[in-house]
Structure 1
Amino acid sequence: MVFPFSAIVGQDEMINAIIIAAIEPRLSGVLIFGDRGTGKSTAVRALAALLPDMAAVAGCAYACDPVDASSLCESCRERQLQGHLPVHRVAVPVVDLPLGATEDRVIGALNLERALADGTKVFEPGLLARAHRGFLYIDEVNLLEDHIVDVLL
């Protein structure tokens, strides 16, 4: 169960910032900071639960927006040219970035098992792909390794 967004009190600036981030997709992120227990993660999860499901290309690891052709990944562009771009509705993702995450886990990497087993080169998207069009929640950003922060920025 998610705490109700409307029940969060005393955090007006934080609430306004994440609402604006949810409304305006060109705003690429919000940095929320505060002491433990001030409702940072609760607010993000509560807002995500309020948002309506979004249209996404079925089977796409990046949850591409089927309405915005300019934002389609290479695979979805190919499928669109073939006239087959199935759409389904999915919840707005909230993805937690664990403190010990590696670059491969964050941005993705070549699937070594498939490469060794049958010689196919398949890219396995990482946490950024899962969070695309949603929220990437990073708790304790100051404890992340410097190279991971560089990747994120």
Structure 2
Amino acid sequence: MEYRFEQQRIVGGIGADDEYWRGLERGEFRLPRCAGCGRWTWPAHFRCGACGDWEMEWQALEPKGTIYSWTRSWYAFERVKERTVDLPYVTALVAIPEAGGARVLGVLVGDETQLRVGAPVIGEILPPSEKAKGYASIVWRLAGETASTSPRV
């Protein structure tokens, strides 16, 4: 079965982040930047909070950053019972320096022995899947670690 985020769209969302999900589906990590003042805006909005401009430019970036914060999940949340096989897992909030420090969430995969706030990470984009509720996703791996196996996500 082919998955696309448009088929699984979260009810009640305003759609400002649609280009983010489309980019991930194409294997691109993209974040919005105001066309008027150049300010990075994430989470995505239709209008810049700094200058009021309505035009956003979605720019492709290297999925690289540093751990801003992280948490370990020990149980599966109601809407993602599919993740039970992954327990426990780490969700990382990653600051993207190239995007003015914008912070993006993703699951950490691989060796966690060097996990700490400030640790450098590299992102890997995974295609849409049933487990990810039809969305493409980004997973983070501590920099310097090689991908020896496929991510569990």
Identify the structure with the greater helix proportion: 1
Rg (Cα) greater in structure? 1
TM norm structure 1? 0.29
